[in-house]
Structure 1
Amino acid sequence: MQYISTRGAAAAQDFRGATLAGLASDGGLYLPESWPQFSKAEIAAMAGLDYASLAVRIMRPFVTGSLSDEELTELCQQAYGGFAHKAVTPLAQLDERHWLLELFHGPTLAFKDVALQFLGQSFAHFLEGHDRALTIVGATSGDTGSAAIHAVAGREGIEIFMLHPHGRISDVQRRQMTTVLSPNVHNIAIEGNFDDAQAMVKRMFGDSALTDTLDLSAVNSINWARLMAQIVYYFAAALQLGAPHRPVAFSVPTGNFGDVFAGYVASRMGLPVERLIVATNINDILHRALSSGDYSRAELSPTATPSMDIQVSSNFERLLFDLGGRDGAAMAETMRSFDASGALQIDETLRAAIGERFVSERVDGDAMSRAIRWAYEEARQVIDPHTAIGLAAAHRYDGDPAVPVVTLATAHPAKFDDAVERACGIRPALPTRVGDLFDRQEQSTVLPNDYEAVRQFVIENAMAKANA
């Protein structure tokens, strides 16, 4: 399998090359040159597989030429063997139609673990015999950072620099990053928002002086390997609910469009997905794009769902490229225009193509709180605010009532205990495996919202290790 850039100018890569690079050299995002296809019979044959075995079956066509079946199997077993639930991503029933897909049983209590535990194992495998350290740079709106740090902390040959918006993530999210004191972990709190941090990371990959000095890679969902790993749980949930003989709809709380794009890929591979419900908070660039074609930046508003407080959704570029004819040169020009103006109008033809698989909902704070109360009062399920955004959107979905609707439960409610308690009166406790989080020492560096300051910090610390 070869991977091509959405902007057309970077050389094609195999899976190993795309994983280690993260972002393409032309600023684009890697996608497989074609979508693997599973027949109805092949999907039916996946029923009953344990999660690691299902992951091998789904990922195999994407890694051909880079990983043998034996290597892929070992990576998946290592990645998913330590989850707190044997099913890895179990389903919980809310009522006759609605279900939760629990994605928070990994080490940092968030859905990012499902992908980043695999990515961490992949980095370690691909770096065997590598003579230069890999410098991972990433931006997080809350959960990516801790999941990435836990996946690579203490690993030889890797330095990780994770940017988060200072004071704009929950205490649990921050501490899950800043209490990891491994010498290869560098937490940077920037005095800006997530979009500022994300823009800095993208700029680093386009900074030739930096990339000539350091071997950069990414752990954000701009890295294809992350999205590939997330495809698996769509298959896992749908198989339990009757696929391929029965379609399933999914409601996905999202800001950066990565998690829901994985569902889109699952549908392109043959999984019968009736609709993907894109659930946004009031930072609603994706809802505006899908409902009216208006993909434009707006002022960012802090909310009780900080992981979704995003106004530039990086992975949306992948969808525009795939459904817009896979014209790299045209995509590059479109993104140059968007970067300059902050606005992009999606034409009717492309919107119609998107509408065949997606619908969207904008959910405000009051509706989010009502969804938390409903889940507790009607189903005795305590859910976090991000999951509640997805559930509120799922309740508005007017598709075939015979089709089950699965809301992705993206984080453990204890990560957002204040918001949950305000909504339903229950203060969720951290699981015992992370129960001492608030007793641990923290370590991080606060830097101004300035690219040069962050760039210099990365260079100095990465080179200090290289020269040690």
Structure 2
Amino acid sequence: MRFISTRGNVGQIGFIDAFLMGLGNDGGLLVPAQIPVIEEATLKQWQNLTFQELMLEIFSYYTNGEIPEADLKQMVYASYGRFRDEEVTPVRKLKDGLFLLELFHGPTFAFKDIALQLMGELYSYVAKKDGRKIHILGATSGDTGASAIEGVKGKEGIKICILHPHQKVSKVQELQMTTVQEDNVLNLSVHGNFDDCQRIIKELFADVNYKTTNHLAAINSINFVRILAQTVYYFYAYFQLQKQGVSGKVDFSVPTGNFGDIFAGYLAKRMGLPVGKLILATNENNILERFVKEGIYKPGNFQSTYSPSMDIQVASNFERYLYYVLGENPEAVVSLMEGFKREGQIVVNGDTLRQVQEDFAAHGVVGEECLNTIRRYKEETGYLLDPHSACGVAAADQCEAGGVCVSLATAHPAKFDEAIRLCSIEQTFPEPIARLFDQPRRQIVVDGTQEAIVQELGRFFR
């Protein structure tokens, strides 16, 4: 397996080089040169594998043998040894035809742990093996930052800086990042929103000289390895349903802001997993819903919502999907992305829009619908959804096609008690979250400009 850029100007590179490059040096996103297709017979052989065993099988199609099997196995088992459920990502039945894929059993109680604990192990492995300096730079709307920091804090040869929008993440999300006292961790609280943070990150990675000189590495979902790790739980969920007597294709409802988690589902489907419809759940920042329904991708006015981790308008993984829906044509991708930079929108129609609507359904969960979904499911089933998972469930209900749907539960409700309290529901915090409130904090508040960020990075990365 080799990797190429969606914009066509990165030569075919190997797995570790793709992992370290993160964002393509031509400004595009890295994708596999060919998506491997898993034969039906192989899928049957995988049905009884553990989550860790399944991850090793799926990664074997992409790693080119660059990492010895024993080393990769050690990293995979180390990554999930601290998860609170032995199945790592268990499936729970919510009601007839609707299941929840619980992705919040990792150390920071969010789905980002699935990929970022492994990526932390991989970065540590590469740093030790090659004697490299690795400076991880990332932006977060809340969960990525805590998971990434948890994955690499205190590890030799690695420094990590995370940008988050000042006072636009939940209190628990902020505490999970800012109470870490390791010297290899820097938190920058940026005046602006997540899109501002993400834009600065992509600009710095696109400056190849700055990226190389400062040994930058990506932890956001611009890094393909993060997407690949997330495909595993789609396969694993499907196999768990088979054990419960479910047969045939399965729909997945995915709360998403940056298009990474749902793109992982799209990749799993392209690899041969029997996926029906991928349901894209957004909130008031519903640029992706409009694209699916109308073929127009155009940022509007940013809104802060009950589901802050989805408060994103410019989705960094959207370009990967464009590459495939445009027939793997990098020239067409470059044309659209340059047009987007110039005109502020992307428009598709005709056969392309029909293909988009064949791949996805979409529903924007606006205002009280999110809170009402939390209340209703708590009353009817006893299950407490966090606001992001509630968006996924609401979208699954709205787009119900009569089959079986798995909705992704992306975070523990304790991370978003602000929304839970608005539902007049009291919850008990898990002990690791409860103790955060008494710990000292470390963060620097900065202006939302590239110059201000670069100044702080210069001091930290030297």
TM range (shorter): over 0.9
Please tell me the residue identity of whatever aligns with 1:376: K
Cα distance in 1 for residues equivalent to 2:291 and 2:358: 15
Cα distance in 1 for residues equivalent to 2:440 and 2:296: 45
Alpha-carbon distance, 1:398 to partner: 3.2
More deviation, 95-104/431-440 = 431-440
Cα distance in 2 for residues equivalent to 1:129 and 1:72: 13
**SS at structure 2 position matched to 1:9:** coil
**SS at structure 1 position matched to 2:95:** coil
Alpha-carbon distance, 1:70 to partner: 2.2
Cα distance in 1 for residues equivalent to 2:73 and 2:140: 29
Q: CA 1:354/1:221 → structure 2, altered by over 3 Å: closer, same or farther?
A: same
Alpha-carbon distance, 1:460 to partner: 2.1
Cα distance in 2 for residues equivalent to 1:418 and 1:310: 19
CA contact 1:418–1:427 (8 Å) conserved in 2: no
* 1:318 match: 320
Cα distance in 2 for residues equivalent to 1:407 and 1:284: 18
**SS at structure 2 position matched to 1:438:** helix
* 2:367 match: 365
More deviation, 428-437/25-34 = 428-437
Deviations 1:117-162 (A, max 9, x none): 1111111112224344111111000100000000010111111110
CA contact 1:142–1:164 (8 Å) conserved in 2: yes
CA contact 1:254–1:260 (8 Å) conserved in 2: yes
Matched, 1:49 2:58: no
Cα distance in 1 for residues equivalent to 2:413 and 2:78: 26
* 2:36 match: 36
Please tell me the residue identity of whatever aligns with 2:143: D
* 2:227 match: 227
CA contact 2:306–2:370 (8 Å) conserved in 1: no
Cα distance in 1 for residues equivalent to 2:241 and 2:249: 9
Cα distance in 1 for residues equivalent to 2:222 and 2:350: 27
Cα distance in 1 for residues equivalent to 2:341 and 2:380: 45
Cα distance in 1 for residues equivalent to 2:44 and 2:420: 39
1:175-190, aligned counterparts within 5 Å?
A: 175-190=175-190
* 1:194 match: 194
CA contact 1:60–1:72 (8 Å) conserved in 2: no
Please tell me the residue identity of whatever aligns with 1:322: Y
CA contact 1:251–1:278 (8 Å) conserved in 2: yes
Matched, 1:383 2:385: yes
Please tell me the residue identity of whatever aligns with 1:277: I
Alpha-carbon distance, 1:301 to partner: 0.6
CA contact 1:414–1:427 (8 Å) conserved in 2: no
* 2:150 match: 150
**SS at structure 2 position matched to 1:94:** strand
CA contact 2:414–2:427 (8 Å) conserved in 1: yes
Please tell me the residue identity of whatever aligns with 1:9: N
Alpha-carbon distance, 1:68 to partner: 2.9
Cα distance in 1 for residues equivalent to 2:15 and 2:76: 16
CA contact 2:29–2:222 (8 Å) conserved in 1: yes
* 1:264 match: 266
Please tell me the residue identity of whatever aligns with 2:92: A
Please tell me the residue identity of whatever aligns with 2:229: A
* 1:104 match: 104
**SS at structure 2 position matched to 1:356:** helix
1:1-16, aligned counterparts within 5 Å?
A: 1-16=1-16
Percentage of pairs with the same residue: 42
CA contact 2:170–2:418 (8 Å) conserved in 1: no
CA contact 1:414–1:430 (8 Å) conserved in 2: yes
Cα distance in 1 for residues equivalent to 2:419 and 2:327: 43
TM-score (norm 1): 0.96
Cα distance in 2 for residues equivalent to 1:374 and 1:39: 41
Alpha-carbon distance, 1:245 to partner: 4.3
Cα distance in 2 for residues equivalent to 1:153 and 1:88: 22
More deviation, 235-244/27-36 = 235-244
More deviation, 146-155/47-56 = 47-56
* 1:426 match: 425
Deviations 1:265-294 (A, max 9, x none): 110111111110000001000000010011
* 1:450 match: 449
CA contact 1:136–1:159 (8 Å) conserved in 2: yes
CA contact 2:138–2:218 (8 Å) conserved in 1: yes
* 1:334 match: 336
1:347-362, aligned counterparts within 5 Å?
A: 347-362=349-364
**SS at structure 2 position matched to 1:299:** coil
Please tell me the residue identity of whatever aligns with 1:450: T
Unmatched runs of 5 consecutive residues or more in structure 1: 464-468
Deviations 1:164-222 (A, max 9, x none): 00010000000000011110100001101000000000000122441242111110000
1:307 to 301, 306, 309: 309
Please tell me the residue identity of whatever aligns with 1:116: L
Cα distance in 1 for residues equivalent to 2:97 and 2:177: 37
Cα distance in 2 for residues equivalent to 1:215 and 1:453: 19
**SS at structure 1 position matched to 2:141:** coil
**SS at structure 1 position matched to 2:339:** helix
Cα distance in 1 for residues equivalent to 2:166 and 2:25: 29
CA contact 1:106–1:113 (8 Å) conserved in 2: yes
* 2:167 match: 167
Please tell me the residue identity of whatever aligns with 1:8: G
Unmatched runs of 5 consecutive residues or more in structure 2: none
Cα distance in 1 for residues equivalent to 2:211 and 2:54: 36
Alpha-carbon distance, 1:64 to partner: 1.8
Deviations 1:431-452 (A, max 9, x none): 1233301011100001101111
**SS at structure 1 position matched to 2:262:** helix
CA contact 1:195–1:311 (8 Å) conserved in 2: yes
CA contact 2:25–2:208 (8 Å) conserved in 1: no
More deviation, 177-186/130-139 = 130-139
Cα distance in 2 for residues equivalent to 1:131 and 1:72: 18
Cα distance in 2 for residues equivalent to 1:293 and 1:444: 40
Cα distance in 1 for residues equivalent to 2:56 and 2:395: 32
